[in-house]
Chains A and B, each alone.
Chain A
């Protein structure tokens, strides 16, 4: 069931500082640019670069005006951590795609015992207000199996590459990844990208 419009894609990437969220959106932005699309991208780090929440708005299409994605208009939410995913429910458009890495990084308030980490079922239920396309994947675990949990961001891009309703050639993805990573990390990240694609092939749309 592909109901997504092809003339624009708003992709919201969220995670925790250090997870490579911004690099992932840099890669996809670059890939979209190489496909001849107009691209705008803005990252919200603020004071949060030290282990805080990270949000990256990535918009692509024939012509993009605002650099920010508006509530209820994100075509895809790509979340590297569950709590960070949960904050952005209202940004997902009706019928949008939600991809969540099954990883909990509890903030300090959990250690201090002042707050509770949300339960998986509650997070999923909140997204069901908007869509049934909710994918929870064991990205960090698989990235660890590949050899380094830090390949999670590229693995998530692999998963996204199957679901994104814009025809992007595989070579464009490969070139985009290679352009943004140091030589010695490319082959491991290519494996992570492939693993992400495999994980997405069983998913029904």
Chain B
């Protein structure tokens, strides 16, 4: 057998494991921490991989491919499964033909999400089996096992990972000669299985319950669940990355490590509980295992000691076990205090970001920033209410721009703007949304605005990529997930076809044009859309004629600081522009807005 040892992230391992299992179709929408799974699968040119318009579509594509008989993978972040919940539960009802594995990448601790949720509940809700790996090796092995599991029990498999599994690298022994499925595509007409009319669905429901009963039997013997022998004084039940922390904190304990976390192996759990004095459940987020173990009539401790939100780590698990009286070991090392008042380093829009200009305009229109400064955030209502959306541009919430009042979920900006306007506010309402997010779920909001005659302005920030998650392509970019040129869906044609009469398209780095377009849109008193178009600064490699500040002309008015450009710095009362990061001619916004004309290009400068 040919084996190679590599250091892989959980996401890389999942992609390889799925490929070695013989998948033929993969679909996803980018979202941290799941994005790299499809990115890695897209590199294999002998399978089909797509960025779908959104997670719901990805799930439907996956379901179709599975019906057609081939092994299929669908991946998304935790909140993506909310979007895809409808077809996911439909898939649970119809069952599958080719193995269908759905990856949910949860983000405990909210590294890069709008919220924290424990998607293990989806397994129970949908009545599907759930598999959870604890490191990259298991990610590689378990995903391989999940496809036959799906086929055998006629069900989608929920493959749940968390940030620390997805984004941690650990050693994987790859088995390049693994037997790949050679399933042929073959769709069979079977309306009782695939057409969910009430009469058919009612027949499927008992199937689902029988499947879960069969899976509970399977759980007793599958190698996905493992007992690690140890001192009977303490028995730990755990899964996923929590296993790693438990193993480090309790090196001597007996451990029941679950890889199949739904349904649970009742007999195995009872036998394990009988053998140990204390049963302690170590799990991140909700007491999912603990509650499902308690339902079996087994006494277990867990969440009365262990944090219910945020990520676990070795320190929090050992703190909890001290609280529970499981260990008496004392931490004898005193806390070391960092220097007081260390400044944070929040993420910012990049130098030369095409969004900066639009937000600078929004933050200064109607003296918005001054109002916020003078009155504080709580008093009164600003003359301009800005509903926001999800992408890099959400960073415009921070000072100095402070140009965002709401951000809830993908595509919400437009619906929220409609609601605020319909509630009867006298302020102008602007929804700000990126191109990829607009394609994802902003379109339906815009159609609603047209239909219900909402007097709002929608600003679409079009950088022609999904920047926040690392520049994935999307329907408007003209390039497929696998790098081929493809049809390009036109933003402006969608907007016009929806029936929006007031549409302006402006270049992102022409501040006068952006200001005038946004002003005109706000003043028209009707539904209006402004598309602000400019290349993402991270992608744009061109940079020349970096800008400089003439200290003779500069009067320290700080207007340029209000752009929030990281290249513009002020220290000890002196303004400078960092030549190494300034985008020069590609941007030039600071030069356009400087009232003293103190900013000019350094001729011939190429930066660093």
Which secondary structure dominates where chain B touches chain A?
loop
Which of B6, B337, B339, B568 has most chain A Cβ within 10 Å? Answer: B339
Among the listed B339, B347, B350, B580, which residue makes an inter-chain contact with A126, where contact means beta carbons less than 8 Å apart? B339
For A50, what are the chain B residues with a Cβ–Cβ distance below 8 Å? 347-350, 392, 395
A67, B170: Cβ atoms closer than 8 Å? yes
Q: How far is the CA of A42 from the CA of B341 in the complex (A)?
A: 27
Query: Which residues of B from 424 to 482 have beta carbons under 8 Å from A?
Result: 468, 470
Q: How far is the CA of A30 from the CA of B7 in the complex (A)?
A: 7
Q: Which of the segments B98-106, B161-169, B289-297 contacts the partner chain?
A: B161-169
Q: A33-B7, A40-B169 are in contact. Are A111 and B347 (CB under 8 A)?
A: no
Q: A16-B345, A86-B338 are in contact. Are A66 and B313 (CB under 8 A)?
A: yes
For B569, what are the chain A residues with a Cβ–Cβ distance below 8 Å? 106, 110-111
Q: Which of the segments B38-46, B122-130, B240-248 contacts the partner chain?
A: B240-248
A112, B343: Cβ atoms closer than 8 Å? no
Q: How far is the CA of A92 from the CA of B334 in the complex (A)?
A: 12
Q: A29-B169, A70-B313, A108-B566 are in contact. Are A52 and B345 (CB under 8 A)?
A: yes
Query: Which residues of A from 123 to 171 have beta carbons under 8 Å from B?
Result: 123, 126, 129-130, 148-149
Q: A51-B348, A109-B344 are in contact. Are A118 and B339 (CB under 8 A)?
A: yes
B346 within 8 A of A: yes
A49 within 8 A of B: yes
Q: How far is the CB of A122 from chain B (nearest CB, A)?
A: 5
Query: Which residues of B from 368 to 419 have beta carbons under 8 Å from A?
Result: 392, 395, 399-400
For B341, what are the chain A residues with a Cβ–Cβ distance below 8 Å? 115-116
Q: How far is the CB of A179 from chain B (nearest CB, A)?
A: 11
B335 within 8 A of A: yes
A110, B571: Cβ atoms closer than 8 Å? yes
For A117, what are the chain B residues with a Cβ–Cβ distance below 8 Å? 343
Query: Which residues of A from 170 to 203 have beta carbons under 8 Å from B?
Result: none
Q: How far is the CB of A128 from chain B (nearest CB, A)?
A: 9
Q: How far is the CB of B511 from chain A (nearest CB, A)?
A: 20
Q: How far is the CB of A21 from chain B (nearest CB, A)?
A: 13
Closest A residue to B343 by beta carbon equals A115
Which secondary structure dominates where chain A touches chain B?
mixed
Contact indicator per residue, chain A 20-52, by CB within 8 Å of chain B (1) or not (0):
000000000110010000111111111111111
For A33, what are the chain B residues with a Cβ–Cβ distance below 8 Å? 5-7, 171
A52, B313: Cβ atoms closer than 8 Å? no
B338, A52: Cβ atoms closer than 8 Å? no
A86, B342: Cβ atoms closer than 8 Å? yes
B484 within 8 A of A: no
B180 within 8 A of A: no
For B169, what are the chain A residues with a Cβ–Cβ distance below 8 Å? 29, 39-42
Q: How far is the CA of A173 from the CA of B292 in the complex (A)?
A: 49
Which of A67, A116, A122 has most chain B Cβ within 10 Å? Answer: A67
Q: How far is the CA of A83 from the CA of B341 in the complex (A)?
A: 11
Q: How far is the CA of A188 from the CA of B347 in the complex (A)?
A: 31
Q: How far is the CB of B485 from chain A (nearest CB, A)?
A: 26
Among the listed B7, B164, B342, B561, which residue makes an inter-chain contact with A118, where contact means beta carbons less than 8 Å apart? B342
For A49, what are the chain B residues with a Cβ–Cβ distance below 8 Å? 347, 470
For B347, what are the chain A residues with a Cβ–Cβ distance below 8 Å? 17, 46-52
B112, A109: Cβ atoms closer than 8 Å? no
A42, B167: Cβ atoms closer than 8 Å? yes
Q: How far is the CA of A88 from the CA of B244 in the complex (A)?
A: 23
A67, B344: Cβ atoms closer than 8 Å? no
Closest B residue to A25 by beta carbon equals B169
Q: How far is the CB of B14 from chain A (nearest CB, A)?
A: 16
B564, A108: Cβ atoms closer than 8 Å? yes
Q: How far is the CA of A108 from the CA of B581 in the complex (A)?
A: 14
Contact indicator per residue, chain B 304-341, by CB within 8 Å of chain A (1) or not (0):
00000000011100000000000000010111111101
Q: How far is the CA of A23 from the CA of B345 in the complex (A)?
A: 20
Q: A50-B348, A65-B244, A66-B248 are in contact. Are A129 and B337 (CB under 8 A)?
A: yes
Q: How far is the CA of A119 from the CA of B260 in the complex (A)?
A: 52
B244, A112: Cβ atoms closer than 8 Å? no
